Amino acid sequence: MASHFTRLVRAYGRHGYQVRTGLNPYYMDNPDEGFTALVKDGELLSTGRGISFSETLFLEELLSLASNIKNVLVIGNAFGWSTLITAMCLPKAKVVAMDAMIEGQQVLEGKKLTLAIAAEEKLNVDVIDACSPADTMSTVNKHLGGEVDFVLIDGLHANPQLIKDFSEAIKFASSNCLFFCHDVLNWHLLEAINFIEESSRVDSVVILNRLSSGPAVAFCSSPTSEIAELVEMYHDATVNIPAYVFEHGGNIHHPGERLGKRLARQYHNSMIEYVRATDNLSPQEMTDILSQWCQFYDSNPEVHFNAGACLIDHQLWQEALPYFLKVISLDPEWAEAYHHIARIYVVSANDLMAKKYFEKAIAVKPNWYPPRFEHALLLAREGSFSSFQGWLEHEKPEKIIEVFSHVKREFPQSVLPWEKWISSIESPEKLNEAISCLMRLIDNEPINGGARKALGLAHKKRGAITEAIDIFLSSVSEIPEWPGPGVLFEAAQCYLELNNSAQARDCLMRCLAIRPGYNEAELLLRECRLTTS
């Protein structure tokens, strides 16, 4: 009979997924490679990793000895590996997985895949879009009859989060309930394990340091002799974990620098992700947690950058500023940090400093679009269109049109430099690209006079004089509220290129009727009359 591991690998294979697990982290130069991930079409799914190969085999052994389990709660489903292996080991149990649906871009795909395999394998599994601890009570009451016998916790890996997950789940634990907490050593969750050990509902806790992540099991009552013996086999008593951590400069709250380098790749961002994902923290609590966390990583620009970005996510702009300033002091080439500093100054209406830092971001990363876009908007807000010239010469047409459209929505009275843009285009390829972009814009905004004039100028520049005339004249007739003397002047110039002085003269007279005293039009009209006579 095939093991549940083999059965599950085959199940994922039916859906076109390869299972990547149990690899040597040292050989692969990645501390996370021992854990389970899915690969499809050569690409790793971005849903986080599940329990490892050795942990999967341990669960098979453990749950085969716990046949009395009826209700299972899984906190953190990702792509379903832990959920499904648990359900396979406990075919008579109801397994409900809670997932906040925030880890990775393919988390919804993971949920659908879990349910599909569960149906094929005839497993009693459900996956609920829910957050722990906020939704634990409603999930357990609605789907598990108000009581759980086995809880697998593999959610957000931070000590305060594990404490919250456990504290809520224990309220619904049966007298013989068993907890499996993943990633304890790998994410340094010793503070939370210490909290669990002190719970009045818990009989004993064992860290299984012979398994990949150093998970912990917690028993609400004394385990059977068989389970106790099994657990003992996966705990290596030759290593005193608290002493080992202390010897490496750490404690239960933080691993210290030496040990920290051996943990999960994203451990250094764990408390930042906790702050980002937790809704009920006050601004002061957020800043206190991040400030204390960043002290452990004073020379790591990534940690300071992510802390600042987290605060911006919570609209704490001014509080984020010191973190980005720290980043550029550590790494002067970090363009995204300059960009965020500029955005903070925009919010605080300090346009002078905003321009300074947008320009720094652009200097460091010239082809990166966001600071160029926002810098252009800032110039537009000031009416500094003369400053656009360098930007117009180098930016892609679709991006220029995006900026112009945004400015027109925000500042309807703005007179945008459409003509400067077309005159700045030198290559035929870029001119054709501009024409295509303008045509798409006009299809969506047919009364955008500036865009229509720009399209006519672009056709004129490429030598399509007849097309240019059609666009200029249709603009005047189809947008009656837009007098367009400049458009009529351009049409007159085009007619002259076709040696049609009569039509040119007609356009110029219409132009002067709209704007008497238009010097260029008067001079050109005089030339037309001289030519005709």
Neighbours of 445 (CB within 10 A): 14
Alpha-helical (H) ranges within 156-250 are 159-169, 190-197, 225-233, 241-247
* pLDDT score recorded for residue 427: 87
Cβ-based neighbours of 532, under 8 Å, separated by 6 or more: 501, 502, 505
Tokens of 156: 């957000």
The residue behind tokens 């394990």 is 193
3-state helix, strand, coil in the chain (%, to 5): 60, 10, 30
pLDDT in tens, 361-401: 999 998 787 888 788 778 766 666 555 566 666 778 887 88
How far apart are alpha carbons 431 and 420 in whole angstroms? 13
Residue 175's H or E segment, with its range, is: strand 173-181
Condensed to tens digits (0 to 9), the pLDDT of residues 82-110 reads 999 999 999 999 999 998 876 656 778 88
Work out the burial of residue 513: count CB atoms within 10 Å of its CB; fewer than 13 is exposed, 13-18 middle, 19 or more buried.
Answer: exposed
Give me the pLDDT at residue 446, please. 87
The fold of the 55-236 domain, in CATH, is Rossmann fold (3.40.50)
What average pLDDT score do residues 418-432 get? Answer: 86
357 and 338 in contact (C-beta within 8 Å)? yes
When pLDDT is cut at 50, 70 and 90, the band that residue 78 belongs to is: confident
**């409900």: which residue's tokens?**
96
Distances (CA, A) of 189 to 152, 352, 490: 15, 46, 72
Token output for 389: 């010239």
What are the structural domain ranges in the chain? 55-236, 268-331
pLDDT bucket at 494, cuts 50 / 70 / 90: very high
Paired tokens of 439 = 């045509």
Q: Is the dihedral of CA 440, 441, 446, 451 positive or negative?
A: negative
Higher pLDDT, 477 or 122: 122
284-291: long-range pairs with CB below 8 Å, 24+: 286/310, 286/311, 286/314, 286/316, 286/319, 287/311, 287/316, 287/319, 290/323
**How many of the other CB atoms lie within 10 Å of CB of 456?**
26
- Which secondary structure element, helix H or strand E, spans residue 179, and what is its range? strand 173-181
Region class of 98: left (phi > 0), else alpha (psi between -120 and 50), else beta: beta
Mean pLDDT computed over 442-457: 89
* Dist CA 271 CA 156 (whole Å): 10
Determine the pLDDT at residue 334: 97
Task: Determine the 3-state secondary structure of 18 from DSSP.
Answer: strand
Average per-residue pLDDT in the chain?
90
Q: CA angle 457-459-465, nearest 5°?
A: 100
> What is the secondary structure of 38-53 as a DSSP string?
EEETTEE-SS--B--H
Q: What are phi and psi of 217, to 5 degrees?
A: -115, 140
- What's the chain's length in residues? 533
pLDDT at 1: 46
Contact 148, 177 (CB under 8 A): yes
Compute the C-alpha angle 175/180/183, nearest 5°. Answer: 155
How far does the chain reach from its first CA to its final CA, in angstroms? 105
Q: Is the peptide bond before 133 cis (omega within 30 degrees of 0)?
A: yes
How many Å apart are CA 423 and CA 393, to the nearest integer?
9
CATH fold label, 268-331: 1.25.40
Q: What letter does residue 222 receive in the DSSP assignment? A: P
The amino acid sitting at 172 is F
pLDDT tens-digit readout, 20-54? 999 999 999 998 999 999 999 988 887 778 899 99
Task: Express as a percent the part of the chain with pLDDT over 90.
Answer: 67
Residue 145 has pLDDT above 90, yes or no: yes
Task: Give the Å distances, CA to CA, from 522 to 1, 40, 512.
Answer: 96, 69, 8
Does position 217 have pLDDT exceeding 90, yes or no? yes
What phi and psi, each to the nearest 5 degrees, are found at residue 18? -95, 145
**Are the CB atoms for 85 and 51 separated by under 8 Å?**
yes
Lowest mean pLDDT among 1-5, 86-90, 272-276, 498-502: 1-5
Closest-CA residue to 62 (of 238, 235, 229, 236): 229
Q: Is 437 exposed, middle or buried (0-12, 13-18, 19+ CB in 10 A)?
A: buried
Specify the 3-state DSSP secondary structure of 181: strand
User: Span 474-503, mean pLDDT?
Assistant: 87
